[in-house]
Amino acid sequence: MLAQLHTATIVGIDAVPVDVEVDIQNGLPQITIVGLPDTAIQEARERIRSALSNCGFQFPRTRVTINLAPADLKKEGSGFDLPIALGILVASRVLKPEQVYDVCAVGELALDGTIRPVRGGLLYGLCARKQKFKLCVPERMALQASYAEGIDVIPIKTLRDIVAILKSVSPVPKFVRPREEESSTPASCEDDMKYIIGQEQAKRALIISASGGHSILFAGPPGTGKTMLARTLATILPEPTKEEQLLVTRIWAAAGQLDPDAGLVHARPFRDPHHSSSAVALIGGGSKASPGEISLAHSGVLFLDECTEFPRYVLNTLRQPLETGRITISRAEHRMQYPAQFQLVASTNPCPCGNAGSEELVCTCTSAERIRYQKRLTGPLLDRIDMVVKVPRQKMKQSESISDLTSAKAKEIVEHARAIQHERTPGRQNSRLTRDEVIRYCALDDKGTELVRSLVNRFKISRRAVDRIVRLARTIADMRGAESIAFADVAESAQYRVSSEDIFPGC
């Protein structure tokens, strides 16, 4: 007898529908699984045999052929255990076809029939909603799957339980999502802006960066607060929207960064990879074309501490994602496109020893070492960074107190500026304005236009840099609540465009 069940497999950050066809024919006892299954699916035959037996069901002692359609799509993971087992029960006439025709089942079987969770509950929920199926998942996956609003999630514990539910012997359990406190980035005493003593210009730049989603580079000697400033950014960003939470959760679930029983990712991501990370770890890839750090940081912050310690070719992989907000990964068997609208925050020292340009300390680096250090941060990458801020050493005063500017106050400024941007261009920050939107919303007066023209003629800056200066000036004007961009806004924006000679003195 032929039976058909519905399930799904994860491809990128989506779950793709898969039909599980089970055919039982006379012949020597044999189980054949076709349809490009991986090793985990091939091993499912032994798990299913033991699970059925331990739950009181008889495994067919004939020829069993299992097809996973579409046959040209590679299937991966142990989540196929449950639909295959149910398909065998339908083909054995334990269940009727009409009892499973609108059911999408996902789960791994233990040898005693217990159903274990797999990653990607939200992805399976979204797929089931699109196909208008009921979703049968292990209990631990039900919470995450329930965020795909508009579907019936049936939490199950064992194979015996789901058979009883499908045969209407037991009532269908209704999953009710518990009330949870949806908080943004947890407040941290260590990362509050009030603990940053001095560095007023850097703090001002950080608030501007957060207000418009602009990338920023802090340059200065070690111990001046560059890392603390970067980590403070997570405490002043506004609450993510529900759509942003859903997309971030999809990315994290697909990358295996979430426990199966985790809910939505409510806080904006803050990713800080080590400088030994490879290009694949940073942008994604590998044999399965998995998401990388830039996609895991979507809607949040990617912090590259001591960015000039990263290999040059690794840093250069950021150029295209910074421009487009997405990354396309092509491999022999996969071609995936992932979102990557992250806010880049980086820091660097002026030289390997950190003392170049200092009046009090002596730089011990050779000219060759300083040049090699500088060249890791290439001109095309610097051209895509909106703001470069110097963070100098500061002398200790006799009386130093906690700053009056707290993260809570800074967050209010950021939220006000972003509210103005959302009203003007819904869902898009100033750093992501298109060329048409720049022309429409970022018009300069005569004095501002003349300043930009003089910058182009004197410093030979690119057209891309001009657009970024104008976008940044638009953000500064939004922070004031102004409809038009003033000359002072353009002047302040222009001061954040510095050359590599200013970042690396003496090179």
Query: Does 232 score more than 50 pLDDT?
Result: yes
The answer to pTM > 0.85 is yes
Q: Identify residue 454 by its one-letter amino acid code.
A: S
What is the chain's Cα-based Rg?
28
pLDDT at 501: 65
Give the dihedral of Cα atoms 36, 40, 42, 48; nearest 10 deg: -130
Task: Provide the mean pLDDT of the chain.
Answer: 91
Three state DSSP letters for 295-321:
HHCCCCEEEECCHHHCCHHHHHCCHHH
Interval 148-175: pLDDT, tens: 998 999 999 999 999 999 998 888 888 8
Query: Does 467 score more than 60 pLDDT?
Result: yes
Query: Does 423 score more than 70 pLDDT?
Result: yes
Is 39 strand, coil or helix?
Answer: helix
Kind and range of the H or E run holding 109: strand 108-109
Banded model confidence at residue 384, pLDDT cuts 50, 70, 90: very high
Q: Give buried/exposed letters for 482-507 (b at 16+ CB in 10 A, else e).
A: eeebbbebbebbbebbbeeeebbeeb
pLDDT at 183: 43
pLDDT at 102: 94
Question: Which tokens in the block code for residue 487?
Answer: 């000359």
pLDDT at 300: 96
Interval 351-366: pLDDT, tens: 999 888 887 888 999 9
Interval 8-22: pLDDT, tens: 999 999 999 999 999
pLDDT at 507: 54
Interval 170-227: pLDDT, tens: 888 888 888 764 444 444 557 889 888 888 999 999 999 999 999 999 999 998 999 9
| 441 within 8 A of 484, measured Cβ to Cβ | no
| 103 within 8 A of 27, measured Cβ to Cβ | no
